[in-house]
Amino acid sequence: MTDAPTGPPAVEQPRSGRRTLLLVVALGLLIVAGIAALAMLRSAPEEPAGGGAEADTPPRIDETDRAVGRPVPDATLPPLADLGPAGGLRLPATDGAPMVINFWASWCAPCVEEMPMLQRVADDLDVTVVGVDYIDQTDNAVELAGELGIRYPLVRDDEGTFGEAVGLFGTPTTLLVDRDGIVRRRLTGELTEQQLRDAVTTDLR
């Protein structure tokens, strides 16, 4: 015969309290994460209407630029195959025409996007537009220029020497050079057509 237990029967502690506590903690963490995400969204800068390269957002202009206000450096840039002057482009130019010097490369997507716009500006405005193919594969650059129908003169900066002389930050970069060979503005980044037209009108007239 089995002896009767002498003490009170063991009672298993209820688990519902633990589950409730865990649910409350998890819910609190979710609320905190949601508040943090909302704060980040509110503090993020809004994208201009239209978005991307089409938005008329001013390109970066460095008013302390070491090239601005000085003569364009002396250089002779060889032609890109048969797409530039046969003897190369000598700078500063001596014909007294204002210039738009655009640094580009076939591997630079924003450069490719703005090249047709540069051609339109070259066709419409009384400025000389020159494309400087920067540290690029010549065959790729020639093929791209043909596909885009580029007719303004193209020259090469194979070693990046000219880019270094003007303190190039990256591509695309556009220099506005006045009739006296003085760099009046540097525009870094992809431009819209209106931005370039406005800059030419302001700085090269």
The pLDDT value recorded for residue 117 is 98
The label of the residue with tokens 């006045």 reads 178
E-assigned strand segments in the chain: 75-77, 89-91, 99-104, 128-134, 154-157, 173-177, 183-188
**Segment 68-73 mean pLDDT:** 93
- Which one, of 190, 167, 202, lies nearest residue 57 by Cα? 190
What is the distance between the alpha carbons of residues 24 and 17, in angstroms, rounded to a whole number?
Answer: 11
**Segment 71-94 mean pLDDT:** 94
Task: Put the strands of the sheet holding 99-104 in their side by side order.
Answer: 154-157, 128-134, 99-104, 173-177, 183-188
Among the residue ranges 45-59, 61-75, 145-159, 171-185, the one predicted with the least confidence is: 45-59
What is the distance between the alpha carbons of residues 137 and 128, in angstroms, rounded to a whole number?
Answer: 24
**Segment 96-113 mean pLDDT:** 96
Predicted TM-score of the model (pTM):
0.70
How far apart, in Å, are the Cα atoms of 173 and each of 37, 86, 191? 36, 24, 9
Domain locations in the chain as residue ranges: 61-203
Residue 63 has pLDDT above 70, yes or no: no
Helix, strand, coil share of the chain (percent; to 5): 35, 20, 45
Residue 178 has pLDDT above 50, yes or no: yes
The per-residue b/e assignment along 14-39, b for 16 or more CB within 10 angstroms, e otherwise, is eeeeeeeeeeeeeeeeeeeeeeeeee
The label of the residue with tokens 């066709």 reads 123
Among the residue ranges 10-19, 53-62, 112-121, 176-185, the one predicted with the least confidence is: 53-62
The percent of residues above 90 in pLDDT, for the chain, comes to: 63
Q: Which CATH class is domain 61-203?
A: alpha beta
The pLDDT value recorded for residue 36 is 62
CA 98 to centroid of chain Cα atoms: 25
The percent of residues above 70 in pLDDT, for the chain, comes to: 71
The pLDDT value recorded for residue 37 is 59
Could you tell me if 165 and 155 are in contact, meaning their C-beta atoms sit under 8 angstroms apart?
no
Residue 3 has pLDDT above 70, yes or no: no
Model pLDDT for residues 132-172, shown as the tens digit of each residue? 999 999 999 999 999 999 999 999 999 999 999 999 989 99
The pLDDT value recorded for residue 93 is 84
